[in-house]
């Protein structure tokens, strides 16, 4: 059995008039379900809060959300792009 390709998503809680919301966590959960439906156990997805002690290191100029596939930083800021994540996963699968 191969070690799954790890997708790491870093976000942070968002403060708004209604209180603190976990919008990036919710999107990361949705992304995880989409990736699991397509790749099964070949991919694992993990969400990190920016203030989590286990949060991966990323460049200082990065903006949230930050997305890694394996050890590669694939996006910073904007949206969590499933097509972009899939492209990187497919490239890693071909190398295996």
Enter the pTM of the model.
0.93
Q: Mean pLDDT score of the chain, rounded to an integer?
A: 95
Structural domains of the chain, count: 1
pLDDT in tens, 73-82: 999 999 999 9
Residue 44 is inside which H or E element, if any?
A: strand 43-49
Measured CA to CA in angstroms, residue 87 lies from 26, 50, 74, 84 at distances of 22, 25, 10, 5
Q: Which 3 state secondary structure label does DSSP give 76?
A: strand
Query: Residue 38 is part of a domain; what is its CATH number?
Result: 3.40.30.30
Cα–Cα distance between 96 and 86 in angstroms, integer?
15
Which residues contact residue 3 at a Cβ distance below 8 angstroms, ignoring those fewer than 6 apart? none
Residue 81 structural domain: 5-95
pLDDT in tens, 16-29: 888 999 999 999 99
pLDDT tens-digit profile, the chain (96 residues): 689 999 999 999 988 888 999 999 999 999 999 999 999 999 999 999 999 999 999 999 999 999 999 999 999 999 999 999 999 999 999 988
């Amino acid at each position: 059995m191969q070690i799954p390709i790890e997708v790491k998503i870093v976000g942070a809680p968002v403060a708004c008039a209604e209180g603190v919301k976990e919008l990036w966590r919710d999107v990361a959960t949705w992304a995880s379900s989409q990736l699991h439906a397509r790749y099964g156990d070949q991919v694992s997805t993990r969400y990190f809060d920016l203030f989590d002690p286990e949060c991966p290191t990323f460049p200082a100029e990065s903006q949230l959300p930050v997305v890694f596939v394996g050890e590669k930083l694939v996006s910073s800021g904007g949206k969590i792009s499933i097509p972009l994540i899939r492209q990187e996963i497919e490239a890693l699968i071909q190398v295996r």
